[in-house]
Amino acid sequence: MGSLPEPEAHQSHKKPLGIRFVEHRKKTNLSFRSHQAIVLIVTFFAYTSYHAARKTTSIVKSALDPTSSEVGLKIVPWKAIFLESTPRNSTSSGILGNGWAPFNGFDGTELLGELDVAFLAVYALGMYFSGHLGDRMNLRIFLTIGMIGTGFFTSLFGAGYWLNIHSFYYFLVVQMLAGLFQSTGWPSVVAVVGNWFGKSKRGLIMGIWNAHTSIGNISGSLMASFLLSYGWGWSFVVPGLFIAFIGLVVFLFLPVTPESGGAEQEADELDSPKKNGEGIKEPFLRSDLEDEEKAVGFIEAWKIPGVAPFALCLFFAKLVAYTFLYWLPFYISHTAIDGKFLSSGAAGNLSTLFDIGGVLGGILAGHISDRLNARAITAATFMYGAIPALFLYRSYGHISLTFNIVLMFITGMFVNGPYALITTAVSTDLGTHSSLRGNSRALATVTAIIDGTGSVGAAIGPLLTGYISARSWNEVFTMLMGAALVAGLLLTRLVMAEMAAKIGEWRSQARPRELG
């Protein structure tokens, strides 16, 4: 009997310091629901800060190379507002004057494009290693290191403004290191959220939670744009300090698992193998969580049923989504809507409706997949729905501003819906797949494999669009519709398996009624 308090003391020791402080002040342990709320809030702001820091580069390009054409990865929402309101200064000022060497030369556009490609390439490659490391480390520590590292190198890029650095290789190396540390974010936050929420409500909860991507993009744009008038260096330093501060919040308050938080898991949060019918086996996405804590290898994670097709599907889904992210403002400003051309600032603001539609799409995809208990069917249906949405937006978006808004919103919903579903709920389901035989330490690795593969498509899509759009925007949309079709087809085997499981479930439920 005297030995019982020891495990409790050990468990309390594993709690984050912030949680222990709050419980000390309240003089009672936090409930499981309170822990879940903390996890959602902290991880939401964590990944919001990642995207806010990531977005600054797009905004500052207008200061580094203000004379270049607004093409490719250089699209900047609200750019026109600052071009009109900010005085032009000398070359060294970097405040929307003559730019900042070496980016204000004749090859400035190419150099800035190389920074984007280098960032995305290192980010995609780093994602694979980050997931592998994340499953072998304390995710709270790993995420904190990633956020502080991201903040440091983001600020270091901006420090070039005060240090009067004009070496392209300085900015290239700093941007690549920033991309490497940025890759720690997504596998970590998805793994933590997946540890705290059962499969039954995971799609809806993660669909709502995934709004951090759009909020991060918008807040990052506003923050960087506001600070740009004080010098482009501040547009990097302040978001860098912000993500570092949130990293400290993560260290103090984020419980990685119910065990580390000392929270007692409630019965309705447990995944039941026979929850959806006796003897019906979910072929690819069933979760069985046990206590074994051995991390899964990279190759072994690829062999989990469903990981490869969903990863390849996300490659094409993210290709479409990121093409819109980088090119949509440019496309809008260069397309006559009701016979009129919008300014770059108005086009950038209008393009945010695509993200808003994506938030709704992520929530709908998550909710529908929960209700149907069919992730692959939901994701494939949304990808097929994106094909007519893309066609209608290209064909009729120019008729009027109302048509453009409605069709853009619908396109964002269908394009970002499966993207959000696959990177959140699907990754979590597969990271706790039954083939792991109770090994729960594959969440970060699986998430990294899926999103890392998707990030390769995110780098390729905008790059291809830069070449294809010079010939015809019709060809660009044809490419996007083809990518959406391939993304849906890659899930065919999983869709068929889920349909077969559903038919078997319906038959097993109908048989007792017939006998009665």
Cα separation, 216 vs 223, in Å, equals 10
Give the pLDDT of residue 134: 76
Domain boundaries, the chain: 17-69+101-264+295-510
Give the pLDDT of residue 298: 67
Give the pLDDT of residue 100: 84
> By three-state DSSP, how is residue 96 classified?
coil
My answer on whether omega of the bond before 77 falls inside 30° of 0, hence cis, is: no
Cα separation, 185 vs 194, in Å, equals 14
| Residue 71 DSSP code | -
Q: Which residues contact 337 (CB under 8 A, 6 or more apart)?
A: 397, 398, 399, 400, 401, 404
| Residue 281 DSSP code | P
The superfamily CATH assigns to domain 17-69+101-264+295-510 is: MFS general substrate transporter like domains (1.20.1250.20)
Cα separation, 208 vs 186, in Å, equals 16
Give the pLDDT of residue 109: 64
- The gap from C-alpha 237 to its chain's centroid, in whole angstroms, comes to 22
Of 88, 124, 44, 214, residue with least CA distance to 458:
124
Give the pLDDT of residue 294: 54
CA distances from 220 to 52, 86, 141, 369 (A): 4, 19, 25, 31
Contact (CB, 8 A) for 167 and 424: no
Residue pLDDT tens, the chain, 516 long: 444 444 444 444 478 899 888 888 888 888 888 988 999 999 999 999 998 898 788 767 767 866 544 433 333 333 333 333 333 333 333 344 477 888 887 777 677 777 878 888 898 888 878 877 877 788 899 999 999 999 999 999 999 999 999 999 999 999 999 999 999 998 888 888 888 876 666 677 877 888 888 788 778 877 887 888 788 899 999 999 999 999 999 999 999 888 776 666 654 444 433 344 333 344 444 444 344 455 566 677 787 788 889 999 999 999 998 888 777 877 887 888 888 887 765 776 787 788 888 889 988 988 898 888 888 999 999 999 999 999 999 999 999 999 999 999 999 999 988 988 888 778 777 766 555 554 445 667 777 788 888 888 888 887 788 778 778 889 999 999 999 999 999 999 999 988 988 888 777 776 665 555
